[in-house]
Structure 1
Amino acid sequence: MSEDNLELMVNRRGRWQTAAEVLGLLSRQPGITRAAVARALQLSTGSATEVTARLRDLQLLSESPAPIQGRGRPTTVLAAHPLGPVVLALELRQGGWRSGVVSLDGSLEQLPGHRHRGHRPASVLAALREVVVGAAAEYGDRLQAVALAVPGTVRGLELLQASTLSWNDVDLSPVVEGTGLFLVAGNDATLAGVAEARTGAAAGAGTALHLIVEVGIGGTLLLDGVPVGGASGTAGEYGHTPYGDRSVRCPCGARGCWDLEIDGRALARHLGEPVPEDPYSYADDLLRRHPAHAEAAIAKVAEALGAGLAGLVNAHDPAVITLGGLAVPLRAAAPAAFASAYEDNLMTFRRSAPPPVLEAAHPTDGVLRGAGALGIDHLTSEPALTAWEAARG
């Protein structure tokens, strides 16, 4: 390779690295100014102006005058370009799915949700592919990636196990079959945690723990906004830690899973009622009504949540914990039971300053926002930026 070609490669790599950093800041701090980008990345005013102009020319971002605040040079507010690339975020749930379109600045346009027409993997994935095809027809080559959130354990594009769907070893790639679109997949609770760590209640925390209760409990540990995936990318299955009754076999195959102590199944069991067909709706309704006869059952489940959370704090030492889904109304319905179990199960040295437990800032759309963030990570990679530039050359 000639020296000229080598220098060109180095320059291009450096150019895309800075561009990716600028776009990364935009996705984590919507409405950031060009001056703030320059400070964060230690760029000169000229360099910041040059790189944002290049990104504007490539239809990756737009700029508008920032409100004048005191003395100093005027600056601009950065936003996603109206003709720039987007991600289709899909959230697969037990009863149906939701979707939304996410731009480079993290803005989400949520689309109408749908119920499953059938529960077999092939039927559900075919329905999701219809959504992808429809989005591709509407957005054209602006649609660059699809990010799929699923309620189960994921490795690459394989759903290893989803107990609530009774799915095992399902290939997720048919969702984009024949479209040529990039597909990335992740666990729903993990992706909700990504949203909280990047733009939500845990933003800025170096180490954060996110937990979400729906059917069972899941979550993730995040370091600087990046989920800890483990050796094979399947970490975060907190619902399958043995915090429950070891005599009970979980649908996942393990015994004594925390999942079985936390959600609508646990509430029904404590109330002497049959296992609900839809544990999420059952628990949601019960927590909204909060009938007197259910107070003891709700307190038991809140205690199970608080005690298990303390165990995770002892193990992970997070700076902050965020709660999503039914964990929020569950704690609110029995605050004393939760707080007592949380404190009592912390190691002694942690009790004087336990990590704060905060409500999620994205309680209803965190999974879609987190999936979108995963897709944006791809859009701002060197290969994706290079391809986008070539398509507009």
Structure 2
Amino acid sequence: MTPARRGQWQTAAEVLTQVSRRPGITRAAVARELRLSTSSATEVTAKLRDVRLLAEAPAPSQGRGRPTTLLRAHPQGPVALALDLRQSNWRSAVVALDGTFLSQTDRRHRTRRAEVVLDHLHRAVREAQEQYGERLQAVGLAVPGTLRDNRLLLQASAPEWFEMDLEIVTVGTGVSLLAGNDATLSGVAEARTGAAVGAGTALHLIIEAGIGGTLLIDGVPVLGASGAAGEFGHTPFGDRSRQCLCGARGCWNLEIDGRALAHHLHDPDPDDPHAYTEAILQRTDPTARRAVERVATAIAAGIAGLVNSHDPDVVTLGGLAVPLRAAAPEAFEATYLEGLMTFRRPTPPPIRTAAHQADGPLRGAAALALDHLTSEQAVATWAAAQ
């Protein structure tokens, strides 16, 4: 595909990006957002209809003014497969260009052996390819660990997955694989359609086994030099006498999840920090309440440090961070404010509960794949094949 040929689809790709990021958007709204004339918007959408990328339906009447249409994915257009790999299960969804989930499944692991897990994900890709044929153009994959070049480098609570090569998921299919950290992709979901919509700079944090997250600028995550940014749990906000499984000392992770609760309660490290945290949160005895408050304030203190460093408009919280904060709200709020630089305290960045809790990583994986499908090159390649 020559650069000149791809350039013919630049505006069309921008239109599709709007459709994928703002489900239910109208043609008039796209025209306003992209500063297109009415005739240009009509021409571009007609062009996209012709190559089976967009479909249009009449929009509800808004009173006087020219009627417009809702822009939707073409029923025969390209689709993506979103996959969300977790400690105990994995989820999948086939996604249309407008972000609609066409199908969704949730399956538990029978074993966490890497080769078995990867085989199940690979079969999910094969099944989607059998159903959708060449319409399946990309796979977005959310994984619970540090990534580099589609290889899972660190997974503290599932050592069986260390150095797991994710390329196996799409090997032999010809479908593009786009993998990302689950916490990072949860943040993408919040910035696109959740609690951080409209924020220029957003900080997203999620606690499962440890804490992860991402800093997003205009909805785009800051990935770092090698794609491994957002490992906030490995900042030295904790006790320097304790060593983390990552190899560093004093990691924040050791202060904010089930391992921290077990440490405060003089219990052995839990095999499943997530389940252990949920169990402790159900207890009402003073000892458990004190342990929960210590963890909640450790979370708040770290958030204040990150706010001082990154200056976000908003902070969004997901996973176990939400019930831990709710279990000690006054202590959490006081610690957060005390940790902020003085000039920030009158108008501190709000800390909001994430809108996409259970499905944040899956929706983020879908967004990652849709960003690929709505790129100028992908649009031009699809159009040339029609």
TM score, norm. by length of structure 2: 0.96
Deviations 1:117-157 (A, max 9, x none): 32232221112111111111122222111111111111221
What is the 5 A alignment of 1:328-347?
328-347=322-341
Residue in structure 2 matched with residue 163 of structure 1 by the alignment: 156
Q: State whether residues 189 and 364 of structure 2, in contact with CA within 8 Å, keep that contact through their aligned partners in structure 1.
A: yes
Q: State whether residues 144 and 181 of structure 1, in contact with CA within 8 Å, keep that contact through their aligned partners in structure 2.
A: yes
Q: 1:367 is matched by which residue type in structure 2?
A: P
- Distance in 1, matches of 2:263 and 2:106, equals 31
Between 230-239 and 136-145, the greater mean CA deviation after superposition:
136-145
Distance change in 2, residues 1:97/1:90 (3 Å): same
Q: 1:307 aligns with which of 290, 297, 301?
A: 301
3-state SS of paired residue (1:100): strand
- Distance in 2, matches of 1:290 and 1:102, equals 40
Q: State whether residues 151 and 164 of structure 1, in contact with CA within 8 Å, keep that contact through their aligned partners in structure 2.
A: no
Distance change in 2, residues 1:110/1:299 (3 Å): farther
Q: 1:134 aligns with which of 127, 130, 141?
A: 127
Q: 1:170 is matched by which residue type in structure 2?
A: M
- Distance in 1, matches of 2:314 and 2:214, equals 12
Q: State whether residues 258 and 270 of structure 2, in contact with CA within 8 Å, keep that contact through their aligned partners in structure 1.
A: yes
Deviations 1:276-323 (A, max 9, x none): 221112212332x24234211111110011000000000000001101
Q: State whether residues 193 and 210 of structure 1, in contact with CA within 8 Å, keep that contact through their aligned partners in structure 2.
A: yes
Q: State whether residues 154 and 246 of structure 2, in contact with CA within 8 Å, keep that contact through their aligned partners in structure 1.
A: yes
Q: 1:47 is matched by which residue type in structure 2?
A: S
What is the 5 A alignment of 1:197-208?
197-208=191-202
- Distance in 1, matches of 2:55 and 2:270, equals 50
Residue in structure 2 matched with residue 257 of structure 1 by the alignment: 251
What is the 5 A alignment of 1:58-69?
58-69=51-62
- Distance in 2, matches of 1:280 and 1:184, equals 27
Counting matched residue pairs gives: 384
- Distance in 2, matches of 1:111 and 1:41, equals 32
Q: State whether residues 7 and 376 of structure 2, in contact with CA within 8 Å, keep that contact through their aligned partners in structure 1.
A: no
Between 107-116 and 182-191, the greater mean CA deviation after superposition:
107-116
Distance change in 2, residues 1:331/1:181 (3 Å): same
How far is 1:325 from its partner? 0.7
Q: State whether residues 156 and 184 of structure 1, in contact with CA within 8 Å, keep that contact through their aligned partners in structure 2.
A: no
Between 305-314 and 159-168, the greater mean CA deviation after superposition:
159-168
Q: State whether residues 151 and 163 of structure 2, in contact with CA within 8 Å, keep that contact through their aligned partners in structure 1.
A: yes
Residue in structure 1 matched with residue 64 of structure 2 by the alignment: 71
- Distance in 1, matches of 2:203 and 2:283, equals 28
3-state SS of paired residue (1:256): coil
Q: State whether residues 318 and 355 of structure 1, in contact with CA within 8 Å, keep that contact through their aligned partners in structure 2.
A: yes
- Distance in 1, matches of 2:108 and 2:68, equals 46
- Distance in 2, matches of 1:82 and 1:267, equals 50
Residue in structure 1 matched with residue 38 of structure 2 by the alignment: 45
Q: 2:179 aligns with which of 154, 174, 185?
A: 185
Q: 2:307 is matched by which residue type in structure 1?
A: V
Residue in structure 2 matched with residue 389 of structure 1 by the alignment: 383
TM score, norm. by length of structure 1: 0.94
Between 19-28 and 311-320, the greater mean CA deviation after superposition:
19-28
Residue in structure 2 matched with residue 87 of structure 1 by the alignment: 80
3-state SS of paired residue (2:249): coil
Aligned-residue identity in percent: 64
3-state SS of paired residue (1:388): helix
Q: State whether residues 89 and 371 of structure 1, in contact with CA within 8 Å, keep that contact through their aligned partners in structure 2.
A: yes
What is the 5 A alignment of 1:175-324?
175-287=169-281, 289-293=282-286, 294-324=288-318
- Distance in 2, matches of 1:290 and 1:41, equals 53
- Distance in 2, matches of 1:366 and 1:85, equals 22
- Distance in 1, matches of 2:46 and 2:269, equals 59
Q: State whether residues 102 and 369 of structure 1, in contact with CA within 8 Å, keep that contact through their aligned partners in structure 2.
A: no
The answer to whether structure 1 residue 20 and structure 2 residue 10 are counterparts is: no
Deviations 1:136-195 (A, max 9, x none): 112222211111111111122122222222133322100111111110111000000000
3-state SS of paired residue (2:203): strand
How far is 1:14 from its partner? 3.7
Q: 1:347 is matched by which residue type in structure 2?
A: M
Distance change in 2, residues 1:109/1:358 (3 Å): farther
The structure showing larger relative contact order (alpha-carbon pairs under 8 Å, at least 6 residues apart) is: 2
What stretches of structure 2 of length at least 5 have no aligned partner?
Answer: none
Q: State whether residues 299 and 337 of structure 1, in contact with CA within 8 Å, keep that contact through their aligned partners in structure 2.
A: yes
3-state SS of paired residue (1:177): coil
What stretches of structure 1 of length at least 5 have no aligned partner?
Answer: none
Deviations 1:315-361 (A, max 9, x none): 00000110111111111111011111111111111111110001111
- Distance in 2, matches of 1:185 and 1:20, equals 22
Q: 2:100 is matched by which residue type in structure 1?
A: S
Q: State whether residues 241 and 249 of structure 2, in contact with CA within 8 Å, keep that contact through their aligned partners in structure 1.
A: yes
